[in-house]
Structure 1
């Protein structure tokens, strides 16, 4: 049995943060990108026949800021779309002369019958450049000098206009959200790009009869972990203050509108480990050991936060982190000592049980009183089998209905009956028989990617198509969804530099302060929509007995094997698959 070590310390809770680095205020929302470490080859820009060039471009490509795009000029965007679907493309503006103010004008799209696709459902936003490194050593600690760094296109900004420097590329992210009640048909119109003069580009959107459900009804099991303390820090407001909750709402509404199912709820301090020194990871529950030795638990913040997230639209599950963190240190407030106490205890030891059993009994009753017990799990991340078995046994002793959520870097079939929400690393596979049983019982069967994976982890330098692949891979494997560990676990200055000392750039977050969405996040949503479309069409083909269509769909899905990405670009496979998907 591991010796229990008691450490007494004063826990300093940072109640407010001095500086607002979100650039989200209307009067202060423009920020300067870092200097480009890649030299500009002037000769290529001098060869341009036009000073300013405007064209539609591939949304699966991150175009270099300093390099003349090697693309044909395309002045019309044609696309097929389901009702209820959001689609996007890129527009590039590149110029060998300065553009003091680049802006866009969007009008309604019309079909031949006089129906409109309103401009309020169309958005053009400027893509910004953020510093990134490369995959390198994956999960190994790194310094900025260890790997080549470059500016990559990823943040999608909230500003209405932008200056463009000489010999520079400026991407624009054009998206259209088709209402579910939109009449089918072809809608046409233009977008005007104001770049020293007006440039008109044509849009032709074919709205099909198929209808996609609203995001919060999607079947895809999306679990992207939320980190609320980082929002307080980046905006420079007090943790858990009224301002903090007001600022969190647009972030978590954005996530809910991507189909997020799960609330990430910390029930202990630093539920991963204490080495996350950059991140606070505060507990939503205050553990108090009274003078008489009994325990008291303050759930007021937990209740407020859970209710708030549900009001934002994330309301299907509550995953509580965690009964097993990585260094096995646990914290409580001791009234007798008037201090926070941190101690270390292995699962199964007397000290561990004395800490957890009273809390679990009390927590169980509290959750039942709130009506949340049936949707709550104790969530565990990449822990050893022996520790998992101890925790499962302990939970079942408290209440046989307790659920467990597990993100695992090794597969344990022997735990299948004990794990409700089972997520495997992308390089692992469920037993086929267990997978069928799991889906029949409506238990989540998902996969995740992290710094071990060279492909399909949504790094800022990765191909955008790899983000869309996530939905297709889930469909191919027969899984229910995808997990990623960090929605907004920002580093010190995430808008301009996505590098971090431990992992490849972009590992820590999918969206930017503001909130600002990203190419990565939008492409993930695209893949989730494709997953939903595949599910709807497969059910339709089965019900109608259209076996040949079903076979063609399955043939397309077979192309989505991760190892193929070592030799074939993700976009090559994806574009062919999407053409097939949108042909029905």
Structure 2
């Protein structure tokens, strides 16, 4: 048997390009030093392999393999501290290049492992806000047996955790403005439950809890049908169902008046609030709704936006779509009145997703603000003209990362004129840094660092649960547009809760780095943050990231360069966060 310890950022690749002796070389390390703040965590990976097939378990429950006699290997973790430990088997997912790559934290307690193949195990140590500072030690033991043999201790590894004095805030108090869009209709499809049913909301609660643990600030609310046109999946040879539906039920009474049922929207927002996601209600379906003429164009004549509002007509019992612009305008006013009555209007942001034509966008904005002047708008911007010409009416700016870097000097000049927040985003581009499965693992951690470097307040990504039809079989979908991993950060777990990905954990580490930087700056240690930035970023101007230069000349892919943010001068610099 082979067993060793690796960084939390270790990514195993199983395929034609894998080294033949990787199972031996990547299990050579037998000790790990870790460091974290309080109300924080430190993580590492255990690699286990053998020259013969075996079954690895992280449970103490009895286990016999269904195919007969085989070696059973059991991992046991011991720690001399009152620290909650999280242990998960790591599953592989196929990337666009056909290779299997470490990706998902499994709910299973055991797994069959092929000969000469590494099996990764995720270990995370959660330090509470009350834990005494100091150094703690722990062991990882590997026991093996077959059938009715007694277990034998095969090997023992060690690790040390240093808990610092500083304490991170609760995630709902994080200053980093995280905005990962939610696709709740897709969640209903994967669990085969009725849209906006009690069962659907029970599952949604678990997904919002996973977002809240990241420090998520925004709730995704849809108020008209299919605002993204299901990513135009109807154009694919093998389409996936990616349509997202409105949270508002509309009825036209026999007397011609409309009733609006906001129950599903209210339930969703209140579940989000209970989970601590209460800074922003992000509304889709009113501004810059996707169109694809002629089938998916404007529905309501005379209204400049392709808002699709479905209603049930009581006069004949059929469903129809609003065709009159006055009906749409009345609906928009009713939404705003409801938000105001609930006390939410100041939290509401009407989202425009990548408007392309500035003049068209301004006409749509003017129409919306004429109806409800108090609405605040938020735009995901992928064109520099929207920055240089200052799109009128936009409160919060979210700028795609490469545009933000290239326009950084200009954005610094405009910062005082932006009324709301300034954030960056990535999606299916730019290629780097990003959170694709193919991306170097440290790039997910790097993105909050990039936000801090730019002086931005947060980070947006378009897809938390926008899975293709069979995500547990394959996450690859339309790879010429969506690199594998672009459409999700979690997977639909069998228990009705999400299975997290390594990319989720790596992004969380970067967010916590950002929060720790704010603590350091608050305490007058700006120099520590500057020195950390100098270790991680190598460019002279941030726009160089998106020029034709190798990564090695732009930013670090060495975990220790990031980890030294946490290492005081009194601690040996070999201590590592991961």
- TM-score interval for Structure 1 and Structure 2 normalised by the shorter chain: 0.7 to 0.9
Indicate which of 270, 273, 278 corresponds to 1:307: 270
What is the 5 A alignment of 1:169-180? 169-180=118-129
Q: Contact (CA 8 Å) 1:404, 1:420: kept in 2 or not?
A: yes
Separation in 2 of the partners of 1:334 and 1:362? 17
Report the number of matched residues.
501
Say if 2:240 is the partner of 1:269: no
Separation in 1 of the partners of 2:278 and 2:446? 26
Separation in 2 of the partners of 1:506 and 1:354? 42
Deviations 1:255-283 (A, max 9, x none): 11110000000110101125245123010
- 1:91 and 1:442, CA in 2 relative to 1: closer, same or farther beyond 3 A? farther
Say if 2:194 is the partner of 1:225: no
Indicate which of 367, 387, 399 corresponds to 2:372: 399
- Residue number in structure 1 paired with 2:7: 58
- Residue number in structure 1 paired with 2:207: 251
Deviations 1:54-102 (A, max 9, x none): 0012333321236432436111110111111122111111111121343
- Residue number in structure 2 paired with 1:491: 468
- 1:440 and 1:298, CA in 2 relative to 1: closer, same or farther beyond 3 A? same
- Residue number in structure 2 paired with 1:425: 400
- Residue number in structure 1 paired with 2:353: 381
Indicate which of 251, 271, 281 corresponds to 1:318: 281
Deviations 1:234-272 (A, max 9, x none): 222222222222222222101111100000001101011
Q: CA deviation at 1:452?
A: 2.8
Q: Contact (CA 8 Å) 1:99, 1:195: kept in 2 or not?
A: no
SS at match of 1:168: coil
Indicate which of 511, 517, 522 corresponds to 2:490: 511
What is the 5 A alignment of 1:130-529? 130-133=93-96, 148-196=97-145, 197-198=152-153, 199-273=155-229, 275-276=232-233, 278-323=241-286, 324-327=288-291, 328=297, 329=306, 330-333=308-311, 335=313, 336=315, 338-342=317-321, 353-383=325-355, 384-411=357-384, 412-413=386-387, 414-415=389-390, 418-429=393-404, 432=409, 435=412, 438=415, 443-501=420-478, 502-514=481-493, 515-529=498-512
Q: Contact (CA 8 Å) 1:466, 1:571: kept in 2 or not?
A: no
Structure 2: runs of 5+ lacking an equivalent: 59-73, 146-151, 235-240, 292-296, 298-305, 569-578
Q: CA deviation at 1:194?
A: 3.5
Q: CA deviation at 1:581?
A: 0.8
- Residue number in structure 1 paired with 2:576: none
Query: TM-score scaled to structure 2, two decimals?
Result: 0.80
Separation in 1 of the partners of 2:427 and 2:207? 22
- Residue number in structure 2 paired with 1:89: 44
Q: Contact (CA 8 Å) 1:488, 1:508: kept in 2 or not?
A: yes
- 1:72 and 1:581, CA in 2 relative to 1: closer, same or farther beyond 3 A? same
Q: CA deviation at 1:538?
A: 2.3
Q: CA deviation at 1:156?
A: 0.7
- 1:551 and 1:246, CA in 2 relative to 1: closer, same or farther beyond 3 A? closer
- 1:566 and 1:293, CA in 2 relative to 1: closer, same or farther beyond 3 A? farther
Separation in 2 of the partners of 1:553 and 1:92? 29
Separation in 2 of the partners of 1:157 and 1:528? 23
Q: CA deviation at 1:343?
A: 7.5
- Residue number in structure 2 paired with 1:22: none
Separation in 1 of the partners of 2:91 and 2:165? 35
- 1:539 and 1:65, CA in 2 relative to 1: closer, same or farther beyond 3 A? same
Separation in 1 of the partners of 2:282 and 2:473? 32
Deviations 1:341-367 (A, max 9, x none): 4589xxxxxx5x434321121111111
Q: Contact (CA 8 Å) 2:538, 2:555: kept in 1 or not?
A: no
Separation in 1 of the partners of 2:436 and 2:263? 37
Separation in 2 of the partners of 1:226 and 1:285? 16
Q: CA deviation at 1:568?
A: 2.9
Indicate which of 55, 67, 79 corresponds to 1:109: 79
Separation in 2 of the partners of 1:200 and 1:440? 59
- 1:260 and 1:548, CA in 2 relative to 1: closer, same or farther beyond 3 A? closer
Deviations 1:287-313 (A, max 9, x none): 344445443322121112211222232
Q: Contact (CA 8 Å) 1:61, 1:463: kept in 2 or not?
A: no
Separation in 1 of the partners of 2:89 and 2:417? 44
Q: Contact (CA 8 Å) 2:449, 2:513: kept in 1 or not?
A: yes
- 1:372 and 1:189, CA in 2 relative to 1: closer, same or farther beyond 3 A? same
SS at match of 1:427: helix
Separation in 1 of the partners of 2:449 and 2:165? 22
Higher relative contact order (CA 8 A, sep 6+): 1
Separation in 1 of the partners of 2:533 and 2:500? 32
Q: Contact (CA 8 Å) 1:438, 1:444: kept in 2 or not?
A: no
Q: Contact (CA 8 Å) 2:395, 2:418: kept in 1 or not?
A: no
Q: Contact (CA 8 Å) 2:402, 2:546: kept in 1 or not?
A: no
- Residue number in structure 1 paired with 2:520: 537
- 1:155 and 1:421, CA in 2 relative to 1: closer, same or farther beyond 3 A? same
- 1:476 and 1:285, CA in 2 relative to 1: closer, same or farther beyond 3 A? same
- 1:82 and 1:356, CA in 2 relative to 1: closer, same or farther beyond 3 A? same
